Amino acid sequence: MLSYRHAYHAGNFADVLKHSLLIHTLTYMTQKEKPLRIIDTHAGAGAYKFGNSQPLKNREFDDGIGKLWEKADLPALLKEYVNAVKSYNPTERLQNYPGSPLLMQSVLRVDDRLFLHELHSTDWRLLTEAVGKDKRVTITDDDGFAGMQALLPPPDRRALVFIDPSYEIKSDYQDVVKQVIAAHKRFATGTFVIWYPVVLRQRIDEMERAFKKSGIKNIQLFELGIAADNPEYGMNSSGLFVINPPWTLWAAMEQALPYLADNLSEDGAGFYRLEQLVME
């Protein structure tokens, strides 16, 4: 079992991977004039302060965004990510970290729409405060998967769905795949970004097999590990399944993943995976 509250892990190596990929994907998708619908099924609190007790508990950001903060040799995808985080910090000191809702909000154009789902009552309140009164954003305290299904297909036939659950019980891994398959049937041309933690490798292997058997085409996998798998320790690696990724993403991750594996790990134990799980 993994209990993954966003606040305790803000800015860690998993956030570096998921948020850098998310920013690149959204930047690409907002280049087209047609409006975009963005759906975040598990939004969290939206914004985090590194002076607060939750992020400070384990200081995971030290081994994530903290290691990239002053780097001058960053690959383009990571430079874009670090610059996005810096825009939320008034000084050169790393104090604030924007979660996926704020990063998504930052790229919205006039006719784009962002739908945020968060069930946790405290996080929902904090999320509402962080986003502010933005008419382009809808925040609901309902089930994110049910909300996702109801919002697809979008009226303009363009959408990005970001799925970042806590995986608190082992059935969550199977439920995520089932929900994605159902959503893909409703809107097959949408872009889906699905985060996963690696605690027991067997569960990720099962997710991969299920996606391969699903009939869904064009699935890429990007994974980053900072140490070898160790179920007794917890999460040493995490990854993303991306369905219908932008064509630019593969080359960008070919540069970013080796850099992250080298710079965020200790004693050279970092590794990465870059795979076309299912062809177009």
**DSSP assignment of the chain:** -----HHHHTTSHHHHHHHHHHHHHHHHHTTSSS--EEEESS-TTSEEETTSHHHHHH-GGGGTHHHHTT-SS--HHHHHHHHHHHTT-SSSS--EEE-HHHHHHHH--TT-EEEEE---HHHHHHHHHHH-S-TTEEEE-S-HHHHHHHH-S-TTS-EEEEE-----STHHHHHHHHHHHHHHHH-TTSEEEEEEEESSHHHHHHHHHHHHHS----EEEEEEESS--BTTTB-SEEEEEEES--TTHHHHHHHHHHHHHHHSSSTT--EEEEEEEE--
Mean pLDDT, residues 61-73: 95
Amino acid identity, residue 8? Y
Residues of the chain with pLDDT > 90: what percent? 88
Look at residue 26 in the predicted model and tell me its pLDDT: 98
Is 267 labeled as catalytic in the residue annotation?
no
Residue 1 pLDDT greater than 50, yes or no: no
**Structure token digits, residue 78:** 């990571």
Mean pLDDT, residues 236-243: 98
> 13-44: per-residue pLDDT in tens?
999 999 999 999 999 999 999 999 999 999 99
Average model confidence (pLDDT) across the chain: 94
- Domain residue ranges of the chain, discontinuous segments joined by +: 6-278
CATH topology of domain 6-278: Rossmann fold (3.40.50)
Look at residue 254 in the predicted model and tell me its pLDDT: 98
Residue 57 pLDDT greater than 80, yes or no: no
Maximal C-alpha separation, the chain: 50
How does residue 234 score in pLDDT terms, banded at 50, 70 and 90? confident
Look at residue 6 in the predicted model and tell me its pLDDT: 67
Look at residue 104 in the predicted model and tell me its pLDDT: 98
Look at residue 248 in the predicted model and tell me its pLDDT: 98
**DSSP assignment of 148-172:** HHHH-S-TTS-EEEEE-----STHH
> 146-182: per-residue pLDDT in tens?
999 999 999 999 999 999 999 998 899 999 999 999 9
Which of 123, 164, 262, 267 is the catalytic position?
A: 164
Residues of the chain with pLDDT > 70: what percent? 95
> 119-134: per-residue pLDDT in tens?
999 999 999 999 999 9
- Rounded to the nearest 10°, the torsion over CA 97, 57, 75, 70 is 80
pTM score, two decimals? 0.95
| 141 CB-contact burial (10 Å; exposed 0-12 / middle 13-18 / buried 19+) | middle
Mean pLDDT, residues 103-121: 97
Mean pLDDT, residues 245-262: 98
